[in-house]
Amino acid sequence: MDTVDLDEKNGTLLIIDQTKLPAKLEVVALKTQQEIYEAIRNLQVRGAPAIGVAAAFGLYLAAKEIIENEFSAFFDRFKKASDFLRSSRPTAVNLSWALNRIEQTALSASDRPVSEIKGLIKEEALKMKYEDTAVCRAIGEHALPLINPHDGILTHCNAGWLATTKYGTALSPIYLAHERGYPIKVFADETRPLLQGARLTAFELESAGIDVTLICDNMASVVMKNGWVQSVFVGCDRVAANGDTANKIGTSSVAILARHYSIPFYVCAPTSTIDLDCKTGNDITIEERSADEVTQLWYKECMAPKNIKVFNPAFDVTDSSLITAFITERGVIRPPFSENISSLFQ
């Protein structure tokens, strides 16, 4: 089942509603820009690559609804739709990257009839979906030599097929190792407060027949100290030019623990998540979310004092000094990151 897909016949964006997992695997059809905005904002579709593809399809659906035949009038409304979707979540660079790419597709064909431009936008959005699957597979292939049979692997949040179009980023090498018969064990952090590890990663890996053990976030140190973890693989939402990396809240804590126990810490990063215009992690905007996610989302009643102050950042930034290597679709990047990341794009 595809995480994100386009239903051209009915003019809808199809997504797996990840807020219903693991209890219910439900595909929902989104038609309006408001529905697509809310699906991204409310994490019905999540994971940087999946968000990017969903936004690309969403912008195509917006283009279909624009009846202007003159390019400047068409693009004015098109750009407003793009900016609206862009505002849904600020941290994941794939969202703006995908929307910019679709905008550029329209601009580069400004001398053609608007009807043709809409067709080009559709082709580009579909191309992005197919590219993402190929990128995830390539990340897995490059990461696979870093895994040995019988290894224990710890991962945080969800960077599997639910976060992409297929395979995932951080889970891609795990899927490929499983395909090739490697006996491996995976430890999945629950990932408070939204429980992407408990609800999504554990669901994915168990469904695939992979040996996975769910742990609370504050148990990572214990399993590392016990010698059960030989490597850590995580995904990312934005990588700065110097290698500082934004990922789901709690990732930096895992990186610090891995450094203490001399465990390699790998970030699986499609090049689309690398933002060379962002010099360091200090330049990354961190999304803050509702206090309800911490105090009562998973409880029958509020489990904190009424009106208690809550700090709920969705992401943190892992300092580049804590990262062993980045795994991209183009290969493995090791320090010095400031030099080697930029050279990847030259």
Per residue in 236-287, pLDDT (tens digit) is: 999 999 999 999 999 999 999 999 999 999 999 999 999 999 999 999 999 9
Q: Which H or E run includes 137?
A: helix 114-143
**Residues of each domain in the chain carrying CATH 1.20.120.420:** 4-137
Contact 331, 318 (CB under 8 A): no
Chain Cα centroid distance, residue 180 = 25
Give me the DSSP letters along 152-208.
EEEE-S--SGGGSSSS-STTHHHHHHHHTT---EEEEE--TTTTHIIIIIHHHHHHT
Distance (Å, whole) CA 2 – CA 11: 17
Position 153 scores a pLDDT of 98
- Inform me whether the pLDDT recorded for 92 exceeds 80: no
Q: What tokens were used for 327? A: 């795994």
pLDDT in tens, 98-149: 999 999 999 999 999 999 999 999 999 999 999 999 999 999 999 999 999 9
Has domain 146-343 been given CATH number 3.40.50.10470?
yes
How much of the chain, in percent, has pLDDT values that exceed 90?
A: 97
Position 90 scores a pLDDT of 81
Distance (Å, whole) CA 46 – CA 235: 12
Size (the chain), residues: 346
pLDDT in tens, 155-196: 999 999 999 999 999 999 999 999 999 999 999 999 999 999
Position 91 scores a pLDDT of 81
Checking phi first, is residue 76 left (phi over 0); if not, alpha (psi -120 to 50) or beta? alpha
Task: Give catalytic status of residue 5 as yes or no.
Answer: no
Contact 53, 4 (CB under 8 A): yes
- Inform me whether the pLDDT recorded for 333 exceeds 80: yes
What is the average pLDDT across 66-82?
96
Higher pLDDT, 168 or 92: 168
**Residues of each domain in the chain carrying CATH 3.40.50.10470:** 146-343
Distance (Å, whole) CA 337 – CA 151: 27
Indicate the pLDDT class of residue 1, thresholds 50, 70 and 90. Answer: confident
Alpha-carbon dihedral sign for residues 11, 158, 201, 298: negative
From 5, 189, 217, 237, the catalytic residue: 237
Q: Which fold has domain 4-137?
A: Four Helix Bundle (Hemerythrin (Met), subunit A) (1.20.120)
Distance (Å, whole) CA 43 – CA 22: 14
Nearest to 237 by CA among 292, 174, 287: 287
What is the average pLDDT across 55-63?
97
- Inform me whether the pLDDT recorded for 151 exceeds 80: yes
Alpha-carbon dihedral sign for residues 59, 61, 62, 64: positive
Q: What tokens were used for 304? A: 């904190």
Position 190 scores a pLDDT of 98
pLDDT in tens, 194-225: 999 999 999 999 999 999 999 999 999 999 99
What is the average pLDDT across 38-67?
96
- Inform me whether the pLDDT recorded for 86 exceeds 80: yes
Sheet holding 4-7, edge to edge: 4-7, 12-16, 27-30
What is the average pLDDT across 315-336?
98
Position 93 scores a pLDDT of 84
